[in-house]
Amino acid sequence: MRDANRKAQQRQTIMKAVNDILVALGEDPSREGLRDTPLRVAKMYQEVFSGREEDPRTHLQTVFAEEGHGDVVIVKDIPFHTMCEHHLLPFFGKAHIAYLPDGGRLTGLSKLARVVDTLARRPQLQERLTGQIADAINDALAPRGVMVLVEAEHMCMAMRGIKAHGSRTVTLVTRGIYDNDRDQRAEILGLLERQS
């Protein structure tokens, strides 16, 4: 019940803020097209930022240690969308994950996508998101190595300022063996970047 009250109070606070923004822009929040906008935006923000209250490592608690798999696991093209914390505008793209199990500790493939989704449901920076994905996998699975490559288009670059439509930002984070072993790093990076 306390959580429901907190969410209701949060929703009211967001609604008031959206109403104030509309008034500051010279709009009439009571006109038909805007009448329900503060509520819609509040509900959207509560959904889009719901990952703030969730630990992404919980998705990686189920492991299949008995499998004994010791070769690299790669999941590519995990779609995500999130909000840039600088302008509260979306950025979206794909995450590519590779990890090298240590002693065969494997997780379900869908769990990696859940980690990405959970971390994307926060005010984010692409650089931070990439590192948080790698750290969650590294912390929960203790693999020999992790590599995460994220590519995204940022609406703060497309809609305002430079208006660079279609530009993509690519970030790469490595942990473990991929930090120092150039050959291993190059091999996995080649697989991540290869088009299907």
Instruction: With a cut of 70, say whether residue 104 has pLDDT above it.
Output: no
Which one of 69, 153, 156, 187 is the catalytic residue?
156
Residue 96 assigned to a binding site: no
Average pLDDT over every residue of 10-38: 97
Amino acid at 47: E
- Residue 96 known to be catalytic: no
Active site residue 156: yes
Task: Tell me if residue 10 is catalytic.
Answer: no
Which pLDDT score is estimated for 61? Answer: 87
In angstroms, how far is CA 144 from the centroid of its own chain?
A: 23
Beta bridge partners of 146: 99, 175
**Residue from 59, 84, 96, 151 carrying the catalytic annotation:** 84
Query: Which of 124, 126, 132, 184 is flagged as catalytic?
Result: 126
Tell me if 156 is assigned to a ligand binding site: yes
Q: pLDDT tens digits for 168-177?
A: 999 999 999 9
The predicted model scores a pTM of: 0.92
C-alpha to C-alpha distances, 40 to 13, 71, 73, nearest whole angstrom = 13, 46, 40
* Residue 84 appears among annotated catalytic residues: yes
Whether 86 has a pLDDT exceeding 80, the answer reads: yes
Is 187 among the residues known to form the active site?
A: no
How far CA 125 is from CA of 42, 43, 72, 97, 163, in Å, comes to 22, 22, 27, 18, 19
Spot the catalytic one: 53, 67, 85, 127: 85
Give the rounded percent of residues in the chain with a pLDDT score beyond 90: 79
pLDDT band at 194 (very low <50, low <70, confident <90, very high): confident
pLDDT at position 25: 97
| 84 is known to lie in a ligand binding site | yes
Return mean pLDDT, the chain: 93
pLDDT at 196 over 60: no
154 is catalytic: yes
54 is catalytic: no
What is the pLDDT, as a whole number, of residue 68? 66
Per-residue pLDDT, averaged over 9-16, amounts to 97
Summarize pLDDT for 108-131 with one digit per residue, the tens: 999 999 999 999 999 999 999 999
Question: Domains in the chain, please, with CATH?
Answer: 2-48 (1.10.286.10), 58-193 (3.30.1130.10)
Position 143 confidence tier, pLDDT thresholds 50, 70, 90: very high
pLDDT bucket at 47, cuts 50 / 70 / 90: very high
